[in-house]
Amino acid sequence: MIIVGIDDSKVTQEVLKLAARHARAFNTTVVLVTSLKGGPDVPREEFSRAEKALSKAEIIFQEEDIDCEAHMSVRGLEPGEDIVKFAEEKHAEQIIIGVKRRSKVGKLLFGSNAQYVILNAPCPVLTIR
């Protein structure tokens, strides 16, 4: 199983293309995951936006005839922590995520979800920028 972390960034489309190639090559299922940090207090419009992004991504895999499931997490964790925890629970074989360029100061002030995933994942992590 390949866990694919998605959000509303520009790199998501490239992440989805690579995930489809890997799923086909390894004959495995893709699990699309998006994490909303706010937990139960997530504003409805943010929740709807995330649902729409998951649905659009899921269609890509359905059209390619690749087994896919979508999962939205609202546990209140940081997205990086949430993806790692989900990968542990599902015994993922690989995680594919997009990374955004940030300055060192930006990473220090705002943290880096990608960095957390890379350093704490229970399986190999492939990043796309």
81-119 pLDDT, tens per residue?
Answer: 999 999 999 999 999 998 876 666 545 444 588 888 999
Token look-up 């090559």 returns 25
Where is pLDDT greater, at 104 or 79?
79
Query: Parallel, antiparallel, or unpaired for β 2-5 and 30-35?
Result: parallel
Evaluate the CA torsion angle 85, 35, 13, 62 in order and state its sign: positive
Q: What is the pLDDT of residues 49-66, one digit of tens each?
A: 888 889 999 999 999 999
pTM here is 0.86
**Residues 96 and 5: beta-carbon distance below 8 Å:** yes
For residue 83, what pLDDT is reported?
94
Residue 8: per-residue pLDDT: 74
What is the model's pLDDT at position 120? 95
Using the structure block, give the residue that is written with the tokens 């949430």: 82
